[in-house]
Amino acid sequence: MFNTFPTPENFSVAMQIPARVLALDAPAPIARAFATRALAQSGLRGASVGVILGDNYFDAYALARVARAAQRDPATILARIELSRAFTCYQLHHRIATLNDTHLNRWRALYVTGLLDPFYDESVEYAEAAHLLQETLARLKHIAARGVPVLVTLSPSKLKTRAGLAQLAAQNVEAYWRIESPPIATQTEMTFARLKGTAHGTNAPDLDATHSRI
């Protein structure tokens, strides 16, 4: 567990260390901003990465702005991202369970954003959701142990009946950050907004034309 307050650069450095599963537990806007910035840093280093969306959120425009601020071609950065979406906990479990050597040998890191979102679905029994999550986390640890660092983002559930899932996730990662203070979250959002505001140029390239899919 890390005791220092996380920054996107912390994540960027940590993701270069193999055999780690890192988690950021934060309100969705903050988790997304950190993940986007860390993902941009990976792209700027020339790394190909896998991204699995549990929250169906991918901000290609923010990535493009970061690329332009660094005087890099956004299309080149986005082309290094292999993107996949999962809309249910069963789909997310299956996507991660079936990642093969072709994927893992190509990637320098794996990002799973909104990991817990599909598991918050109350139509799935809690015991079933917890079991699938446990297997998913075990698979992510196995992937990290093979030398592909993993970053997951977790957003708190509004349902008390699902609160235990976040605790389960926290117990099964090598590094864990939690942000829950509104003042800190606001400062983080403002920092990321200022970063995006430094970029120049026209609209970002079309998302589907500039990234790959798993």
pLDDT tens digit sequence for 90-132: 999 999 999 999 989 999 999 999 999 999 999 999 999 999 9
- For residue 75, count CB atoms less than 10 angstroms from its CB and return exposed for 0-12, middle for 13-18, buried for 19 or more: middle
CA distances from 100 to 94, 96, 104, 158 (A): 12, 9, 6, 34
DSSP state of 24: E
Which structural domains are found in the chain, ordered by start?
A: 20-213 (3.40.50.300)
Q: How far is 42 from 159, CA to CA, in rounded Å?
A: 34
Predicted local distance difference test score (pLDDT) of residue 122: 94
Q: How far is 21 from 149, CA to CA, in rounded Å?
A: 6
Helix ranges restricted to H, 54-181: 60-69, 74-79, 89-97, 101-106, 126-145, 163-170
Q: How far is 151 from 50, CA to CA, in rounded Å?
A: 10
Predicted local distance difference test score (pLDDT) of residue 189: 46
Q: How far is 44 from 195, CA to CA, in rounded Å?
A: 15
Percent of the chain with pLDDT over 90: 50
pLDDT tens digits for the chain (214 residues)?
A: 444 455 656 655 555 655 689 999 999 998 988 888 888 888 888 889 999 999 999 999 988 898 899 899 999 889 999 999 999 999 999 999 999 999 899 999 999 999 999 999 999 999 999 999 999 999 999 999 999 999 999 988 888 889 899 999 999 998 888 887 554 444 444 444 444 433 333 333 333 333 444 5
pTM of the model: 0.78
pLDDT tens digit sequence for 130-142: 999 999 999 999 9
Cβ contact 77:41 at 8 Å: no
